[in-house]
Structure 1
Amino acid sequence: MITRRALLANGSLALASLLAARGASAQGLQYAQFQAEWAQNYDAATRTRVERIDTPILSPNTLTSTEEMIARYADIVARGGWGRIADERLGLGSRSPGVVALRRRLIQSGDLDPAAGSADAYDSFVEAAVRRVQTRHGLTPTGALNGATIVSLNVPADVRLQQLELNVVRLRAYSGGLGDRYVIVNMPSATVEAVENGVVASRHAAGVGKIDRQSPIFNSRITEINFNPFWTVPASIIRRDLIPLMQENPSYLTDNRIRIFTHQGQEVAPEAVDWFSDEGTRYVFRQDPGGEFNSLGFVRINMPNTEQVYMHDTPARGIFGDDFRFVSSGCVRIQSVRELVVWLLAQEQGWDRGRIDDTFRSGERVDVRLARPVNNYWTYITAWATPDGTVQFRDDIYERDGIAGVPIARAPGSEDG
């Protein structure tokens, strides 16, 4: 059986093969994977694929819609659920008995109108229905029946019902008192929503924590914006990433404009440090400002929390075109972060769009304390429904649902199990 994790792993193998064909060594590939954690250099163009409905994930309307969807899915389960479709890659123009089974499956979940018929041709109606399925599951809406889409379609109806029942409890915890203006970070969907008066003002694709470096769940308030920030390397990254990188490439810090300081503020030359001992853990590592290379990009958004995480820009904007955006050490990287900053500062005197754009361009270090802090909720919602009758499902990336049969994606190159 093909799983989402296997598909992602196969994608990594394909990348490794491509690099090998170009003469890249295994060591070079390993180096690139380490570097991708906090100085990514993806080439993929930024492509927004987040839903455009204006109902927030956390809202009374979403809660009501999800409760109604539970009743609908309970009825589907009571009528026997739906069957599995074959692992057969299909696309527009294909003809196969598998298309008949696919049509039946799409009709059962409400993605295809029964009037579309039961022909064995993969026509435009089937393609549109598959796009709908892909969008509802956070996948690239290609319209072609690929492996990841098959995995999502083959999750049994009773498992999806359990997922909805679990998440409605989570949604009820946020059913009131969210505030007039608030920001939602949802880990499973890797998205950020800015909400005003119950409506999504802007929605952003995000890069959130890896499986082994998960973004935490907490409530806080956004209190400060740092323009053109320094980046101080967290202690965990110094030990797990930076020191191994320096062992392999002694010019890494210089190449990435990261400087070393004692805790008294005295600068230390990289060649003066023994990188094959724990000496490196005794220093402070700080990357100079610069949106094109600094790991925080042009801006950092702060909120008090015990995990010392925050939201920020990134020079590696290609990640936002990926389905799998679980790439950070816990902090959250935001697509089109400037739009979020404009929204956050809309009620701050003297901070209109023109001034914000000028500050980005200037490269000047500027800190802005919000006179009106904005509520901020970092959440874990893997299933929800919206008033238009659409139900959304996401993989249980951090394995917090505890429901057998819910897909759990793995990063490219990771092991099953």
Structure 2
Amino acid sequence: MGHRNVSRLSRRVFFGATALAAFGVASLAPYAATAQDGDQAEWPQSYEASPHMAVGRESTPILSPATVTATEQAIQNYQNIVAKGGWGQVPPGPDLKIGSKGPRVQALRDRLVATGDLDPIAGAGTTYDSFVEAAVKRFQARNGLSESGAVNEATFVELNVPAETRLQQLETNIVRLKAYSGDLGERFVVVNIPSASVETVENGVVYSHHAAGVGKIDRQSPIMQTHATEINFNPFWTVPPSLIKKDLIPKMKDDPNYLTEEKIRVFNKEGQEVPPSSINWNTTEATNYKYRQDTGADLNSLGFVRINIPNPYGVYMHDTPSKGIFGDDFRFVSSGCVRVQDVRDYVAWLLKDNPGWGRDQIDEVIRSGQRLDVKLTTPVNVYWVYVTAWATPDGIVQFRPDVYQRDGAGPGPLASAVP
């Protein structure tokens, strides 16, 4: 269905004002070789051999005093960058990659040096060499982009966001981060909507990271504080009323076999199953029925597991049969709920205080297909937040797209009770 192409287009359209920056990197070891402009430069030291240049899995929670302190320092650094005139633009044109040559490569080097992604010692040259590639990977990692090492259209967009805009983004988000500077609990979960990610935190340290699928621009995931209270294994999915009109009726008009193919059963108000063919799909009659999808992760929209987090919006966290979304840069794909990568590991962590519920038991109940609800012995705090810019204690500054346009325009509409 061309999902990846649509994802990239969507990111370009909606995130036209986003780019990435970092500051405070240590210098690289001296180079033992240089190259003339126009030659293919291959430095003797590689990206992998320079761990201080890599962007690894962060152990500091995004909601923590350490992140607040690091972000305050980043604000000072960006104030200095802005005071010196910011950074130059990388001229538009074809994608840049290893072997590319010309003045645009020099402009790219200058841009990467400005934010600490490329050491100044490697800042001269019109050939795209392995160190430029490594710097681009670093830039992409800090901006939530796939680390291809090539400058594609999405990366050009992020590179060319002005320094003033980045500074404003940091100043907006330090207020959000400080709002969570209190005691969040010994164990808690953070869903950061702009980065479409989930992290579990235990004793002040990140225990696990999970890619996520979050609400679309027009069906946003809400900002909220709640608790994980119950795990539903092999759940049914009941189509929310909001989706009956928006999605289900139009699909049935296009394809009368849609409900049957999706294993969605129709029930009247008395709880009796009725055939889809008995409903007039050209009227609103369909809104008088209940629609329930059978269990089974091959088709069920919730996959194998649903995590209940009581809230007034009717949203929750769950597995998904569409695992491919977790490899996309653009993961704003749901109707408000949060889809979690590696959901079995996530559930095992949530259930760690429940006797007899290790990973083996979780795998077994999923394998059985049995409908089973398990209440957490100890509810776990859950925070859905909207943070588009922050820094970590190692000096790396992260930026994510303001997909819901909340950094300057206020809150957007909240989600409906749908996955």
Does the TM-score normalized on the shorter chain lie above 0.5?
Answer: yes
3-state secondary structure, aligned to 1:61: helix
Please state if 1:322 is matched with 2:328. Answer: yes
Query: How big is each residue's C-alpha offset from its partner over 1:332-386, in whole Å with a ceiling of 9 and x where there is no partner?
Result: 1111111100100111111111111101111000100112000000010000001
Task: Report what 2:9 is aligned to.
Answer: 8
* Corresponding position: 1:60 with 2:61: no
* Match among 77, 80, 84 for residue 75 of structure 1: 80
Q: Structure 1: how far apart are the matches of 2:229 and 2:338? A: 16
Residue 86 of structure 1 is matched in structure 2 by 91
What is the CA deviation profile of residues 203-227 of structure 1, one whole-angstrom value per residue up to 9, with x for unaligned ones?
Answer: 1111100000000110001000000
Amino acid at match of 1:175: S
Q: How far apart in 2 are the matches of 1:177 and 1:236?
A: 36
Q: Distance in 2 between matches of 1:193 and 1:350?
A: 24
Map Cα deviations across residues 19-54 of structure 1 (whole Å, 9 max, x no partner).
xxxxxxxxxxxxxxxxxxxxxxxxxxxxxxx95111
Alignment of 1:36-47 (within 5 A): none
Shift of 1:6: 10
| 1:407 alignment partner in structure 2 | none
Q: Alignment partner for residue 174 of structure 2, among 161, 168, 172?
A: 168
Query: Shift in Å at residue 241 of structure 1?
Result: 0.3
Which position in structure 2 is the counterpart of 1:199?
Answer: 205
How far off is 1:264 after superposition?
A: 2.3
51 and 368 in structure 1: CA distance in 2 versus 1, 3 angstrom threshold: farther
Amino acid at match of 2:169: Q
What secondary structure is seen at the aligned counterpart in 1 of 2:165?
helix
- Which aligned pairs between 1:4-403 and structure 2 lie closer than 5 A? 8=9, 52-88=57-93, 89-402=95-408
Alignment check: 8 A CA contact 2:11 2:154 kept: no
The DSSP-based 3-state class of the residue aligned with 1:247 is: helix
CA gap 1:80/1:6 in 2 versus in 1, 3 angstroms: farther
TM-score, normalised to structure 1, is 0.85
Distance 1:378 1:10 in 2: 21
Q: Which amino acid aligns with 1:60?
A: P
Deviations 1:190-249 (A, max 9, x none): 001111111111111111000000001100010000000000001111110011101111
Partner of 2:39: none
Please say if residues 222 and 313 of structure 2, whose CA atoms lie closer than 8 Å, have aligned partners that are also in contact. Answer: yes
TM-score normalised to structure 2 length: 0.84
**Who is 2:40 aligned against?**
none
Question: Could you list the runs of 4 or more consecutive aligned residues of structure 1 that deviate by over 4 angstroms after TM superposition?
Answer: 4-7, 9-12
Distance 1:283 1:83 in 2: 59
- Name the amino acid aligned to 1:284: K
What is the CA-CA distance between 1:263 and the residue it aligns to? 2.6
Check whether the contact 2:344–2:359 (CA below 8 A) recurs between aligned residues.
no
* Rounded Cα–Cα distance in structure 2 between residues aligned with 1:348 and 1:68: 41
Q: Identify unmatched segments of 5+ residues in structure 1.
A: 13-49, 404-417
CA distance in 2 between counterparts of 1:84 and 1:236 reads 44
How many Å separate the matches in 2 of 1:280 and 1:52?
A: 48
Counterpart code for 2:285: E
Write the letter of the residue equivalent to 1:304: P
Corresponding letter in the other structure for 2:142 = R
1:398/1:290 CA distance change after superposition, 3 Å = same
CA distance in 2, matches of 1:396, 1:103: 26
Contact 2:113–2:123, Cα closer than 8 Å, also in 1: no
Q: Is the 8 A contact 2:249 2:281 kept in 1?
A: yes
Matched position secondary structure for 2:89: coil
CA shift, 1:331, in A, is 0.5
Q: Helix, strand or coil: the match of 1:355?
A: helix
CA RMSD of aligned residues (A): 1.9
Kindly provide the CA deviation profile for residues 64-99 of structure 1, in whole angstroms up to 9, marking residues without a partner as x.
111110011111111111111101321011111111
Given that 2:8 and 2:330 are in contact with CA atoms closer than 8 Å, whether structure 1 keeps it comes out as no
Q: Share of identical aligned residues, percent? A: 62
